[in-house]
Amino acid sequence: MRREHILLIWIGGLVLAVLLYLIGPDQFFAVVWTVIDIIDGVTRDWVARIGMQSYAVVRALAIAIYLVFALLAILAARRGLRGLWALTVVSLACMVLVWRPFALYPAPFGRWLTMLILVGVGAAVMTRRLTAPPYPPNGTL
């Protein structure tokens, strides 16, 4: 074993001895459980706040990227490329995922994330179609 590891074990033992002396051996486990409960509560609160913020961010991104995808699909269709069927299919899929006309609560986070991924892939495909070099006429390569 390396000397640094042995030194860290000794330092950890001495820190534990100081903590046991300051807290008291009888109260040590109660204090440790209280500290763990405080850390758990703070962590859960932080994760809940991050979750609410990420929900709003994912919804905003999904809607914005859908509009980008729709405009790119229309541009692709105007150039004679395949785009209208993709726009129709993705629009219907998005409606199935997140449209809830009479619901009390909005669609769950997973559905918005799925919509974001779907329209992101669609926008990337439409971008690729619009930026790809045109195909040569039939018979010539």
Classify residue 52: in a domain, yes or no.
Answer: yes
pLDDT tens by residue, 23-49: 888 888 888 899 999 999 999 999 888
Number of domains observed in the structure of the chain: 1
Task: Give me the pLDDT at residue 23, please.
Answer: 84
Q: Which residues contact 83 (CB under 8 A, 6 or more apart)?
A: 72, 73, 74, 75, 76, 77, 126, 129
**Average pLDDT of span 95-99:** 91
- Summarize pLDDT for 102-141 with one digit per residue, the tens: 878 888 889 999 999 999 999 999 999 999 887 776 766 5
User: Which domain range does residue 56 map to?
Assistant: 3-131
11 located within any domain: yes
Domain assignment of residue 138, yes or no? no
Closest CA to 115 of 47, 50, 55, 52: 55
> Mean pLDDT across the stretch 63-80?
95
Answer whether residue 118 is part of any domain: yes
121 occurs within a structural domain: yes
Q: What is the pLDDT of residue 24?
A: 83
Average pLDDT, whole number, for the chain? 89
Q: Is there a domain that residue 67 lies in?
A: yes
State residue 69's pLDDT score. 97
Mean predicted confidence (pLDDT) in 60-78: 95
